[in-house]
């Protein structure tokens, strides 16, 4: 009984890490704490192997929800202990892609993502 409860709690805790449904979520799940650019490139390759189209296929604002962080909060949380510049840069792109709302051009009737 106790083992089942512990196993259930571990699944709940690990679910956000295992639930990388797109490239940006994979970067945020695997990139924090990366110490050098070689490791950052390896993480990038792992995420790209599961999501070949990279950031292009991630809908702008896909991570936005009632209790979602801002893109700045996401970057501060996930990139603060990351020594690799490349890893921190990719975390920033992923956070902005997930948590920044798309911009609207009312004159043209177009919705476009914010410029990085």
- The CA-based angle 94-66-79, given to 5 degrees, is 30
Query: Is residue 11 in some structural domain?
Result: no
In a domain, 64, yes or no: yes
Tokens of 86: 């490349």
Q: What pLDDT was estimated at residue 10?
A: 47
Q: Per the domain annotation, does 8 fall within a domain? A: no
pLDDT along the chain (116 residues), means of 10: 52 48 97 98 97 94 91 97 97 96 74 58
User: Is residue 5 included in any domain, yes or no?
Assistant: no
Q: Is residue 100 part of a domain?
A: yes
Count of domains observed in the chain? 1
Which residue range(s) make up the domain with 83?
19-112
Taking the C-alpha atoms of residue 82 and residue 114, their distance in angstroms, rounded to an integer, is 25
Structure confidence at residue 112 (pLDDT): 64
Place of tokens 């919705």: 111
Query: Cβ of 83: how many Cβ atoms within 10 Å?
Result: 13
């Amino acid at each position: 009984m106790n083992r089942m409860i512990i196993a259930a709690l571990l699944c709940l805790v690990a679910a956000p890490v295992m639930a990388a449904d797109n490239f940006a979520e994979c970067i945020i799940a695997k990139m924090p704490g990366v110490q050098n650019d070689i490791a950052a490139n390896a993480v990038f390759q792992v995420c790209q192997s599961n999501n070949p189209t990279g950031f292009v296929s991630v809908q702008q604002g896909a991570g936005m929800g009632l209790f979602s962080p801002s893109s700045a909060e996401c970057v501060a949380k996930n990139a603060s202990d990351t020594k690799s510049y490349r890893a921190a840069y990719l975390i920033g792109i992923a956070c902005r892609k997930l948590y920044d709302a798309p911009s609207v051009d009312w004159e043209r009737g177009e919705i476009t993502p914010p410029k990085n």
